[in-house]
Structure 1
Amino acid sequence: MLERKKIVTVLAATGLTLGLVSGLHATAQAAPSAAQTKNLAVFEGKKIDLSQNWGAAKACAVWRAMDGVSCFRTTAERDAHAAKLAARMSPAQAAATCTRPLHLYEHNGGRGRDLKFFDKGGAYQNLDRYNFNDQTSSYRTGSCKAHLAEHNGGRGYWYPGNTNANHYESAMRSGWNDRVSSILNY
């Protein structure tokens, strides 16, 4: 009887330990770390989390092939910064870049916050990472074609308007204002 009690105790302790370990493993996988959910950008020498708030920034550039994400108070400041980066691009960086970026604008007519994407190819950029999900009201494609998708990861419908290179739409087509959730330059 004493032998059986020891075996039951050992089995119960082993089961409890395994349950705790597997529960911790599942929790670790299910909960993204703070680093995974944040999208840090440089604004006036400080890091800001774009997924939460742009603060005083009005113009941001996503250029992972060069310096990541940078934000500025004005489009002129952002464009001057981009010109400096473009001047020192390596051939490999140039191959991964649209020479003229995709612009997403918060309001019709290219007004409001302005988010530029220079990177070409790769994965879809989910706009919630930039606090821009369902907030695009006008756009300008650059030297690359683009896909504007209804949901994250390029899922759902794709914007039915012209997204070929060098095109500007001062207002989204009917039913598409504030509906874009992800983009891809290609």
Structure 2
Amino acid sequence: MKLFRTMAMLVAAIGITTTTAAPAMADTGVIATYHGKRIDLSKGWQGAQACAEFAVGDVRCYDTAAEADMATRPAGEVAAKGMWDCPGTWVCLWQDENYTGRRLQWSAAGTKKLANWDFRDKTTSVFLNRVQRGMEAVNYRTLGLDDHSFYCASCAYDNLAASGWNDKIDEVKI
């Protein structure tokens, strides 16, 4: 009986050890410049409606999409509304359908974890306004394998609900 009790305590101790492992390091939010101040996008956009990553580590936010357009387009180029708000060579995500709502955009390639940008599970419209390199979207799953969806270069998606991906993108690889 004593041996059984000792074995039971050992099994319980091992079980506790495997279920209480240290949590993985959390990613930090993306730091952006907005009205001359540095903000952590993972904690909210502080009123900004458009944020753009010009290069890795150079993220700027704007009150309106029009302000972002002026900053991201060559001088003299006029932006149209809708998906054409997304400048050439950029990848743009919108929070709402038909290319409306908050807009997040990148010109720099890489993996973007959308929680760090306060955009996880918030994408409804996508436009890849460039001729090369598409985008891979990832939906993290609690059980099983993550879902992946691929978007082609020079393609526009006005409402991801049709594909079952509305408000499900957690990470993009561009």
Could you tell me the TM-score, scaled by structure 2's length?
0.69
Q: Which residue of 2 aligns with 1:169?
A: 157
C-alpha offsets along residues 66-124 of structure 1, whole Å, 9 cap, x if unaligned? Answer: x6111001112112212369xxxxxxxxxxxx95211111011111100001112x4x2
> Partner amino acid for 2:28?
T
Does 2:121 align with 1:134? yes
| Runs of 5+ consecutive residues of structure 2 not aligned to the other structure | 1-20, 76-86
Residue 148 of structure 1: how far off its partner (Å): 1.3
Partners in 2 of 1:131 and 1:113 — Cα distance?
11
RMSD: 2.7
Partners in 1 of 2:169 and 2:58 — Cα distance?
22
Q: Which residue of 2 aligns with 1:51?
A: 42
| Runs of 5+ consecutive residues of structure 1 not aligned to the other structure | 1-25, 86-97
C-alpha offsets along residues 111-149 of structure 1, whole Å, 9 cap, x if unaligned? Answer: 1100001112x4x21000000001001110121311111
Q: Is the 8 A contact 1:102 1:142 kept in 2?
A: yes
The 3 A distance-change label for structure 1 pair 99 and 108 is closer
Q: Is the 8 A contact 1:99 1:118 kept in 2?
A: no
Partners in 1 of 2:67 and 2:51 — Cα distance?
10
Q: Pick the aligned partner of 1:178 from 139, 154, 167.
A: 167
Q: Which residue of 2 aligns with 1:6?
A: none
Does 2:65 align with 1:63? no
Q: Is the 8 A contact 2:29 2:115 kept in 1?
A: no
Could you tell me the TM-score, scaled by structure 1's length?
0.65
Does 2:76 align with 1:73? no
Q: Which residue of 2 aligns with 1:89?
A: none
Q: Is the 8 A contact 1:61 1:117 kept in 2?
A: yes
Partners in 1 of 2:24 and 2:93 — Cα distance?
32
Partners in 2 of 1:77 and 1:114 — Cα distance?
12
Q: Which residue of 2 aligns with 1:7?
A: none
Q: Is the 8 A contact 2:29 2:117 kept in 1?
A: no
Q: Pick the aligned partner of 1:107 from 85, 91, 96.
A: 96
Q: Which residue of 2 aligns with 1:156?
A: 146
> Partner amino acid for 2:98?
G
Partners in 2 of 1:175 and 1:164 — Cα distance?
17
Partners in 2 of 1:64 and 1:177 — Cα distance?
27
> Partner amino acid for 1:136?
T
